[in-house]
């Protein structure tokens, strides 16, 4: 579970991360990362939000994908820059992906975003 201080809640923050952030796409997920200007204040934690729409599947599948992605990102909060905004968008193929496949997809996207 993500701590409350690490949750992205405002639609303006989602919009800003998606429109202005860097993007890395994989088969099952797309990550949008917006790093704070400059170094970023270490006191401001990174925040993460999720977009799992109806194209993924019915409510049961969407909730399963959301829980899995939330668990993956919760364990990788320390890898995200301080003050950053991250939006994880699940693609329809994420419904059939296992937890380990989602971990590999997120890790690959994070590595790509941190290189650029």
Q: How confident is the model at residue 44, as a pLDDT? A: 87
The pTM for the full model equals 0.92
The CB-side HSE value for 49 (13 A sphere, CA atoms) comes to 18
CB neighbours of residue 20 within 10 Å: 10
What structural domains and CATH numbers belong to the chain? 4-115 (3.30.230.10)
Q: At 6, is the pLDDT very low, low, confident or very high (cuts 50, 70, 90)?
A: very high
pLDDT digits (tens, 9 = 90+) for 30-80: 999 999 765 556 778 999 999 999 999 999 999 999 999 999 999 999 999
Buried b (16+ CB within 10 A) or exposed e, 75-99: ebeeebbebbbbbbbbbeebbebee
Contacts of 37 (CB under 8 A, 6+ apart): none
Q: How confident is the model at residue 1, as a pLDDT? A: 82
Q: How confident is the model at residue 38, as a pLDDT? A: 56
């Amino acid at each position: 579970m993500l701590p409350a201080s690490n949750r992205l809640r405002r639609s303006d923050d989602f919009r800003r991360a998606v429109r202005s952030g860097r993007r890395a796409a994989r088969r099952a997920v797309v990550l949008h990362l917006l790093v704070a200007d400059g170094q970023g204040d270490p006191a401001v934690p990174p925040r993460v939000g999720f977009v799992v729409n109806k194209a993924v599947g019915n409510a049961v599948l969407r909730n399963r994908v959301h829980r899995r992605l939330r668990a993956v990102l919760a364990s990788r909060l320390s890898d995200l820059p301080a003050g950053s905004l991250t939006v994880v968008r699940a693609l329809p193929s994420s419904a059939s992906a296992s937890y380990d496949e989602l971990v590999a997809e997120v890790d690959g996207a994070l590595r790509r975003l941190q290189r650029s």
